[in-house]
Each structure stands twice: as structure tokens, then as C-alpha cells.
Amino acid sequence: MSRQKVILITGANGEVGHGLIEKLVQQTPRPRIVTLDIRNIAPEMQPLVERHIVGDILDTILLSTLINEYDIEAIYHLAALLSTHSEFNPEAAHRVNVQGTVNLLHLAAEEGRLRGKPVRFLYPSSIAAYGVPNLEAKAAAPPAKEADFPYPTTMYGCNKLYCEHLGRYYTFHYQQLSATPPVGVDFRCVRFPGLISATTVPSGGTSDYGPEMLHAAAQGKPYACFVREDTTIPFMAMPDAVKSLLLLAEAPA
């Protein structure tokens, strides 16, 4: 029996996942979507996906069964332990954010070998990958370019920066000593700022105070903000973040 062609979305029940699913199903032809999350997917999302799997990206046996069942043409790897939660349990964050990503990259490499062409791997990184030592250095620093200040100060930022390099490795250097050149992975990454969603509740990001303010105001509730008055941070609306991922997926290899 031939394998069914699908798009795989990990962490699909999070803030980005809902918006991504809603946009993907508007495409023509409509793609078949398989989602993976440690929780059940929201009821309103269930009719939009081919199948939802409650499972863990650290479960390599589960991931290997996906290759047997599906022809995975693209992976949107959204699953992660976010920044605030990562500081409370940095070792768990490393397991989920790094080993989980390695597991998905390996899955993509194996799928590419079966398909004979690279699998597109969409990875939302973060501006947490940047880091400056103190407020004085931050105030004196020019606008950062992609390769500037690669010294993250959070476990989440360290994980994201490392996984960017892992993606580059799997794309250009994976199994480089093999007698048979591997197909590799088509890794594509974008560093997001803080994301604001009108429809989903924040779930553990350092910048969640922004959307938390908006959600509290919409409910007529006060909000005590822990951030200094002079703090500035870039934000992006969730629809723009989803659009960025889709444009990145459609860009020429």
C-alpha cells in the first residue's frame, strides 16, 4: 500500500499551530495534515486535520512509525518548551528543545532518503538566540544583524541557536563521510520576536506579558506587569508569523 502524502506539524496545539492549520487548509489543493502534540488538539481544529496523534517528540519509536505510514513532504516543527518554563527546568528544556529537534531532523533525513529528495523542515527560532552581557552594552549596540551577538542568556535561546546550527548541519553536512551521499534536509528557519495572538492564551514565553495585557484588558481585568517601564521589545501579530512561515515554505530551495 502506498504511503499517503502529508504535512506533519509538531506542537500543533500551541499558539502558532492553530493559525498555521487554518491557513494551510485554505490552500489548493488542500494538503492532508497530521498533527503531533502532547495534548489533544482543540475541538475546533480536529475537523481540519487528517489525524491528530497525542505523543511526545522524544518518542523515537512513535516517530519511526510515521515514516512507515506517511509520505511526509514537509515538517513544521513547532513543539518546544518555551522560554520561561525552560528557565525553571533547563535540563528538561534541553531534552525537549534539542533532542526533540534532533529526532525530527533525523526523521526528515530518513524520509528524504525514501523520497529521493529533501523534506522541507520549517523551524521557528527566536530572537532569544541573541544575547548581550548587560543593559549598558545593549544600549550602545547597533541594530543586530543575523550573525551578531550569538551569546544567548537563556536556556531557550541556547537551544534555539544550537538547533539552527543542527539544521544547517543536516542540510549540508549530514553523513558527510558516507560512501553514498545522503539526500539531506531542506531546513528553513526564521527568528521570531514576541508573538501576539487574539485567539489563543499565552503559554510560557518571556514576552507573554504583551498578549497577557491585551487579554486582561479585553476581559476588563487589571494586569500587574513585571517589566520595567523603559523596556522595549519587538512584537509580531500571529497572522504575520504564520504568513512568514508559509512564505518561507514556498521559497525556492
Mean residue pLDDT of the chain comes to 93
Q: Measured between alpha carbons, how far is 4 from 236 in angstroms, rounded to an integer?
A: 35
* pLDDT at residue 201, as a whole number: 65
Residue 207 has pLDDT above 90, yes or no: no
Domain parsing of the chain, residue ranges: 4-195+236-250
* pLDDT at residue 116, as a whole number: 93
* pLDDT at residue 189, as a whole number: 98
* pLDDT at residue 194, as a whole number: 87
CB crowding 75-86: b at 16 or more within 10 Å, else e: bbbbbbbbbbbb
Q: Measured between alpha carbons, how far is 85 from 61 in angstroms, rounded to an integer?
A: 26
Q: Measured between alpha carbons, how far is 148 from 253 in angstroms, rounded to an integer?
A: 25
Query: In this structure, which topology does domain 4-195+236-250 adopt according to CATH?
Result: Rossmann fold (3.40.50)
* pLDDT at residue 1, as a whole number: 61
Q: Provide mean pLDDT across the span 141-162.
A: 94
Q: Between these two residues, 64 and 206, which has the higher pLDDT value? A: 64
Output the CA angle 10-14-15, nearest 5 degrees: 130
Which band of pLDDT confidence, cut at 50, 70 and 90, is reported for residue 2?
Answer: confident
Side chain identity at residue 84, one-letter code: T
Q: Would you say the C-alpha torsion 84, 132, 167, 251 has a positive or negative sign?
A: positive
Q: Provide mean pLDDT across the span 216-223.
A: 89
Q: Measured between alpha carbons, how far is 64 from 183 in angstroms, rounded to an integer?
A: 18
Q: Note if the pTM is more than 0.85.
A: yes
* pLDDT at residue 56, as a whole number: 98
Residue 199 has pLDDT above 90, yes or no: no
pLDDT one-digit tens code per residue, 38-76: 999 999 999 999 999 999 999 999 999 999 999 999 999
Q: Provide mean pLDDT across the span 129-154.
A: 91
212 Cβ contact list (under 8 Å, min separation 6): 202, 223
